[in-house]
Each structure stands twice: as C-alpha cells, then as structure tokens.
Amino acid sequence: MDFNLEVLKGGGWKCCFSAMASPCEVIFDSTDQELVNKLSHDLVTETKRIETKFSRYLPNSVVTQINQAAGEPINIDDETSKLLQFANQCFELSNGLFDITSGVLRKVWHFDGGDRIPSNKDIEKLMALIGWSKAQLYGDNLCLPKGMEIDLGGIGKEYAVDRVVQLLRQGQSGPALVNFGGDLATTSSRHNGKHWSVGIDLKGLGENVTRVIEFSQGAITTSGDANRYLLKDGIRYSHILNPKTGWPVQNAARSITVAAPTCIEAGIVSTIAMLQGKAAEEFLKTSGFQHWIFR
Amino acid sequence: MQLDNNSFAAALSIAACSLLSGNAQAQTPEVTEPGWQFESAVMYYGETDRVQALEGIFSAKKSFEDQKLLNLKLTVDTLTGASANGAIAQSEVQTFTRPSGNGYYQISSGETPLDDTFRDTRVQFNGQWTQPLSRLYTVSGGIHLSNEYDYLSLGVNASIARDFNNRNTTLSTGFSLSNDTITPEGGIPLALADMPNYSQGKFEQDGWGSEATNAQYLATRSRDSDDKTTIDFLFGITQVINKNLITQLNYSYSQVDGYMTDPFKVTSIVDSEGITRRNIYESRPDSRQKNSVFAQAKYSLGESVVDISYRYLWDDWQVKSNTIDFRYWLPFDYGGYIEPHVRYYEQEAADFYKPLQLESDQIPEFVSSDYRIGDMTATTLGVKYGHPNNDGTEWAVRAEWYHQTSNDVGVALPGLLTADDVYSDVDAVILQFSYKF
Amino acid sequence: MKVKPLIFIFVLISTLSGCSSLGVQPWERGTLAKQEMSLNASPLDSSLDDHIYFSKEASSGGKGFAGGGCGCN
C-alpha cells in the first residue's frame, strides 16, 4: 500500500499519502506503531476505494456509469444512493445553489488565469443540462436526463474524511487528526487537554503569517477560489459558478473556513457560503456555524 | 423555500447523520481562537571593562476576527558602566570633567579614556495594529514611545502592502516619523568648546562648586536640550520563489534633521609630541541622509532552514557599511532546535571622523572621535537553543560573542603615540533567555 | 578602509527572481507557512539585536525602519 509513516517530533505518527488530487495525512496521537501501521493501511484502502468509486475521471466508476446512462434509469448501490440523497438535501437547503449537475459548465469555462470568456449562447446551451431537480431518484433507482452529468467532487473528499474518522474510531485509534488537502476532522480530543493547532495561511505586510486556530474536536474545511480564475477587461471571474445562471459568482470570498461536527457539513456550508458571493458573511452569521472568512 | 438558519443547520445535520449511517457520533466542534500570546526575553549585554546592559522585553499579541492583529511590546533596560569618551590614551594621568559638571573622573596612563558616568534606565512602549484593508491590501500602523532620564523618543509608523501574483509577490511601502529630545544633565555643550580645565588641576585648587569652576563650566554650555527628527521611507518586495525559498528586497531612505552630536564625546587636541593639550566637545552636522538596500533569502532544506541576509548602507556623512548575517536553523526529533549565527559587519568612517586633532591644524566645523562612526569591523558569533515544553510553551537560550575592531584611518600619529593609544577593540558577550507562552 | 557594496549578492537575488515560473500554488505553502520560514522568525531577538547594533555601529534599519529610539548611542 502506498503511504509513508513518519514519527513526529514530540511523539506520535503521521501517515501521508496522495489521493483525490490532494496531499492526505493522518496524525495519530499514539505511540503504538503496530496499531498505527494497521489503521494507516485500512484508511488508505478505504480512501482509495471511495476515490475509485466516485471519481468522474475513472471509466469504471459509479459516477461514470451514471453519466453514460444516456437517459436510461440505472440501479445504484446503497452507498451511492445515500450520497445522492445527501446531495439532494443540499440542493434543496441551498435553494438550488449547490447542484451536482453543474459540472458540465466546465466545458465552456476554463479557469486557467487566461481571458477566454464563453458566449451567452454557449452557456444557454449548457443550462438546459443543469438542474438536479430534473433527475429522478427513487431509492436505488436513478434516472438522469440524457446529456446531464453528475460530479461528486464537491462532497467526495469530505465524505472520505468522515468515513476515515469512523474507521479510526472503530479501530480504537485514540486521538487522530485527518487532513485531506485542507478538509480536516478529528476522532476525539487529544490527550492531556492539548489542542490540534491548525494554521490558516494568511499573508500581510511582507510576512508569511499563519493564523493558528486551536481545534480540539469536530471538523474544519476551507473553500476558496484561491487562484483559479479568469481575468478579462479588468474583471476577475471566480471559478465558483452559479448553477442557476451559468456565470461565475460575483464578489466571491477569497476563502471561507467553517467548523462543524462533521467534515461533510463543514464542506457544504463553506461551499454554499462561497456561492452566496457578497452575502457570504450574512449567510454564515445566521447559519450559526463558526467561520473565518477571507476576502 | 427559504429555511431559517436554525432549521438549515438542523436539516443539514440530519442529512449528514443519515449519510454517515448514524454511527457518526458527531461532536460539537470545539474551535478556539488562541487568546493572547505572550513572549518574553531577558538579555544581558556586557563589554569587558565597559558598558553592561540588562534588557527585558514583554510582548503580547492578539488576533481578532478578520485577520486583525494587535501587538503590544514593553521594553525596559538599564545601562551601567563606562563608555569611550573619544579622547586618546596618554602616558600621564588624564582628568575629565563629568558631562554634568558635577565632578570629574581620572584615567590612568596608557588607558583608553572611558566615561563611567552612564547609568540609565529606559522604558519603551510599542503598539502595532495590522489588518487587511481589502482583499489584497494590508495596512499597519503603530506608535512608539521611549523614555529615559535624559532622552525622550516619540514615533509613529504606517505601512501598506499589496499582494500580487497569487500572493507570491508582495509590494510594501511605509514611513516612520520620530522625534527625539535629549536633555543631558548639565545641558548641551557648545560644539568644539574646550572641556574645562581638565589638565591643570584647577578643580582641586579652586574646589568644586566654586564660582570660578561653575562659571568655567557654564561657559561651555549652550542650551538645556535639543532634538532631532527622523523620517524613514521603506519600499519592499517579498517574492516566493518556490515551495522552499522566499526572498525579500528592501530599499530604505532615512532623513534625520537636528541634533545628532553626542554631548558626552570629545576629541583630543594633540601637539607634535603626541601630548594632549586639551579636549574639545565634538560637533556633527545637523542633517543626515541615509540609504540602505537590504536583501534576505530563506531556504528550507527539508527540515533545516538557511537564513542569509545582506545590507549595504551609505549616507551623506560618507559612512558606508556592509552587513552579512547567516543563520542555520536545525531542528531535533523531539521538537527542540539549535541555531548557529554568524554576522560580519564592516564600515567606512564618516568624513568628519578623526581619532585626534593636531594642534597645528585648523579645527574643522565638524569633528568627532567617536569610534562608532570610525572605520570598523565587527564580528558576531552565536548560538541559540530552543526547547518546546509539553504544555505548548517554549523556552530558548542564546549566547553570542561580539567583537569590534577599530581600524586605522591613516591619520599621522605625532610623537610617541601608537595606534594602540588611538584605536581600541571592544569585546562583548550577549546572553539571552526567552520564554513563549 | 574602503567599503564596497557586495554586488554579487544582488546578482544572485535578481537571478533567482528572474526565473520564469516564480511562486507556488496556495496548497504548496506548507513549508513556507512554518514559523521558522517566516522572514522575521524571532522578532524579540531581532529587536534586541537591533538595539545593540543601533547603539554600537553607525548603521541601522534596512530590514525595517531605522527610526529614532534611544539615547543609548
């Protein structure tokens, strides 16, 4: 299995591997090397399983099968059904802002820092293929209109983090911190009342400033439009696309960090907050989730 | 349907719970902003036979919402011991009037004249506020106040920085303005005036406090206090080169106007035999324009970090200096680290620096024998050790050795004077203990 | 003594800065974000050192403001 175990300064182990296009690490507050090794093996296996199953790039994945069904109803397994149910809830809770069918917009929007802006006509054509409400999900049966595609990129990594946390708890790992490319969750508080210190990278006045927050339990995710954008005629187009208009969200925050009981909740809240554009602060404030917003 | 937000959170929680098969044991997130972060340090600085200083710093930092940062710093230091007064060594015992006029001190033959009057306690306060202004801009403003028995410094600063290029490049610019007032005990000496009757034993004859000595002393005084204003401009660029390398380049310009003479320093007027005839109070120009270019690179070699910096400084007093600083940060497995440090400094003298003034020559408008603006080379060698504690606090100790060599500026030495009488070295140790909590 | 600027250091820095693909992606900042990689990693040490060198040498500032400060020189 493809992972690295490193002993940490001050005790503990770190398991590092690469999955879902992100650096992944799990920090164990434990000195039991045998247990850490076994759990690392299990968690990497589980992460790769989720990646293989839900990646839209892999030809045999469930997502690819759904996307190639060409309007025919197909049978889905229980796990996929639960994930789609969850995506459905998020679609409703966000009034359609969070939509797993919006990925087709990537065919016309290329966020490479360049200045290629698609025409209204191109976008209009694609808009017909967007809208989760057009999908029919009944238990283990899904029917997606022809030409439509789903993309679980917005929840897959967070889901994997929560699954790994569950797996570690079941395996009696003791306190551990799971970090998949900035999506974090803990199994429990650390020993001796210590905190997990998490740095949010901030910069100012020529210094590399990392804002450290102390984190004892729960999950934290960060959504951002970091550096994927388009620049045309002095207008910066965020890569956060509004599925209702097909256009980038205006005044999207630079990054939004949210704390929640589970990683998947934190991820959804930070994503929906990004989609709110200018109204992100208001949304976050009233949502009641602890958050850090960076514009 | 617009859900109100409590039900939003509740509905989301139910959805997540059913996705994660109910056995999620979801925990309420517990995230705390770190409270105040404190850092303190005590430093001892001691020169062999000369000045000793003890300095303590207490710094408190607090981050607030939206990346606002407050940093408060209190510094207290106390200085005792002797410092070179600028006069040269002689084969006879030399007597000098104390700067205050209250008494005198004597220097044995062959010794570099040191004034042991210095005893001062200084208290300094700094406050700095930094916050983002908009998405890519950060601003910062601060004040400083430093007060000691005979010196008061007040200052403000402000800067702005903007990120470019995915925040890999940061341009910053800022200014600082400060006003320093010196009120030496006994007043400010007249530039180039003779230090009263240092060699003729007159003080003893007339007795201290007599009208004659008082009058003589007062004749060398011009005013109670004076001040200077410093304005600095700084332009900087910070560039991230790659995952392991960050660099910085600064240009700064500094304009100082006002009283920059050191009221405690004198220059020896020497005859053709090399014998000091009298000492005069030094005199420096009342304006100085300094420029400096500073470059720094920090490179991570995996675990360890190399920090190298260089500064070139030049000014209209014709001072030029090179400073090279090198640090190597080397961590240990348990979280401690050791950091060796080497610094090399060389400076070319100000154009009015003269270790002595020949009696036969005309005294120029500006003259100073203060070795600190003379030709000099200085080396610092040090090492720091840092240790993390289990409760998240950290302590560190640092020991450094600082050596200054005054170089011969090529002034002809009359009579029996040797370079040793005129130029001397300074050795100092720096010991520091720091604690972060 | 003649003090000349050490031009080669600037040449080095500008050569580095001349690289075609400068900079990193946000997720590559792990190393740079470490405390020991901060340009001023030990601010208290720096301020103590600045005070010493300010009072013992004819140069000050460069990294930050030279400023006024104390009558220690």
Using an 8 Å CB-CB cutoff, list chain A residues near C32: 208
pLDDT at residue A120, as a whole number: 81
Q: What is the rounded distance in angstroms from the CA atom of residue B358 to the CA atom of residue A22?
A: 75
Nearest to B45 by CA among B77, B84, B86: B77
Under DSSP, is residue A29 helix (H, G, I), strand (E, B) or coil? coil
Chain A residues 174-213 with CB within 8 Å of chain B: 186, 188-189, 192, 194-195, 202-209, 211-213
Give me the residues of A, 82-111, that contact B with CB < 8 A.
82-83, 85-86, 89-90, 92-93, 95
Residue A126 has pLDDT above 60, yes or no: yes
Among B240, B327, B377, the residue to mutate for chain C (most C Cβ within 10 A): B240
* B-chain residues near A10 (CB < 8 A): 334-335, 388, 390
pLDDT of residue A226: 53
pLDDT at B201: 53
From CA B46, how far away is CA B79, in angstroms rounded?
10
Residue-wise pLDDT tens digits, A71-105: 888 898 989 999 999 999 999 988 888 998 888 88
Cβ contacts of B3 on chain A, cutoff 8 Å:
93
Question: Per CATH, the architecture of A73-151+221-294 is what?
Answer: Roll (3.10)
CB contact under 8 A, B295 and C9: yes
pLDDT at B190: 95
Neighbours of chain A (3+ CB pairs under 8 A): B, C
Task: State the smallest CA–CA distance between residue A177 and chain C in angstroms.
Answer: 17
Residue A203 has a pLDDT of 45
Task: List, edge to edge, every strand of the sheet that includes B276-281.
Answer: B276-281, B266-270, B357-358
pLDDT for position B152: 94
**Interface residue of C20, C21, C27, C49 to substitute, partner B, most B CBs within 10 Å:** C49
**Is A23 in Cβ contact with C29 (below 8 Å)?**
no
Spell out, as residue ranges, where chain B has pLDDT lower than 50.
1-3, 198-199
Instruction: Please check whether residue B40 lies inside any domain of the structure.
Output: yes
Chain B residues 19-78 with CB within 8 Å of chain C: 39-41, 43, 45, 55, 57, 59, 73, 75, 77
Of A7, A212, A262, the CB nearest to B34: A212
A210, C33: Cβ pair inside 8 Å?
yes
Q: Would the CB atoms of A203 and B167 count as touching at under 8 Å? A: yes
Average pLDDT for chain A: 83
Q: Looking at the complex, report in whole angstroms how far the Cα of residue B241 sits from the nearest Cα belonging to chain C.
A: 5
Are the beta carbons of C65 and B167 separated by less than 8 Å? no
Range of the domain at B43: 36-436
**Cβ-Cβ contacts under 8 Å, B298 against chain A:** none
The CATH number of the domain where B236 resides is what? 2.40.160.40
List residues of chain C with CB under 8 Å from any CB of chain A. Answer: 25-27, 29, 32-35, 37-40
In this predicted structure, the answer to whether residue A282 has a pLDDT above a threshold of 80 is: yes
Query: Is the CB of residue A118 less than 8 Å away from at least one CB of chain B?
Result: no
Whether residue A117 contacts residue A232, with contact meaning beta carbons closer than 8 Å, is answered with yes
pLDDT score recorded for residue A140: 86
Residue ranges with strand state E in A4-100: 4-7, 13-19, 22-28, 74-75
What does the DSSP assignment read for A205-249? Answer: TTEEEEEEEEEEESEEEEEE-TT-EEEETTEEEES-B-TTTSSBP
Q: Specify if B74 maps to a domain.
A: yes
Is residue B202, in this structure, part of any structural domain at all?
yes
pLDDT greater than 90 at residue A240 = no
How many angstroms separate the CA of residue C3 from the nearest CA in chain B? 6
Task: Report pLDDT digits (tens) over C21-34.
Answer: 678 776 677 788 77
B25: amino acid identity, one letter? Q
Residue of chain B whose alpha carbon sits nearest to that of C9: B310
Any B CB within 8 A of A166 CB: yes
Do the Cβ atoms of A293 and A253 come closer than 8 Å? yes
B-chain residues near C34 (CB < 8 A) = 300
Instruction: List C-alpha distances in Å: B17 to A264, B26, B353.
Output: 10, 8, 79
Asked whether residue B2 is domain-assigned, the answer is no
Cα angle for residues B103, B105, B110 (degrees, 5° grid): 160
Q: pLDDT tens for residues A148-198? A: 888 888 889 999 999 999 999 988 888 899 999 888 899 888 876 677 777
Of residues C32, C62, C72, nearest to B252 (C-beta): C62
In B66-193 the beta strands, taken as DSSP E runs, fall at 68-84, 94-97, 104-107, 114-132, 137-148, 151-164, 169-182, 188-189
Is C32's CB within 8 Å of A208's CB?
A: yes
Is the pLDDT at A208 greater than 70? The verdict is no
CA distance B99 to B437: 43
Residue scoring higher pLDDT (B203 or A25): A25
Report how far residue B423's alpha carbon sits from residue B12's, in angstroms, rounded to the nearest whole number: 78
Q: What angle do CA B371, B373, B377 make, to 5 degrees?
A: 75
Question: Domain total for chain B?
Answer: 1
Query: For chain A, where do the domains classified as CATH 3.10.520.10 start and end?
Result: 73-151+221-294
Q: Chain C: residue nearest B306 by CA?
A: C37
Query: Under an 8 A CB cutoff, do C38 and A209 touch?
Result: yes
Rounded to two decimals, the ipTM of the complex is: 0.89
Question: Residue A59 class from Cβ within 10 Å (0-12 exposed, 13-18 middle, 19+ buried)?
Answer: exposed
Question: Above pLDDT 70, what percent of chain A?
Answer: 87
- Kindly state the average pLDDT of the residues C39-67: 90
- For residue C41, the chain B residues in CB contact (below 8 A) are 307, 329
Q: How far apart are CA A77 and CA C41, in angstroms?
A: 53
Q: Quick check: B25 contacting A, CB < 8 Å? A: yes
Q: C22 and B430 in contact by Cβ < 8 A?
A: no
B3 within some domain:
no
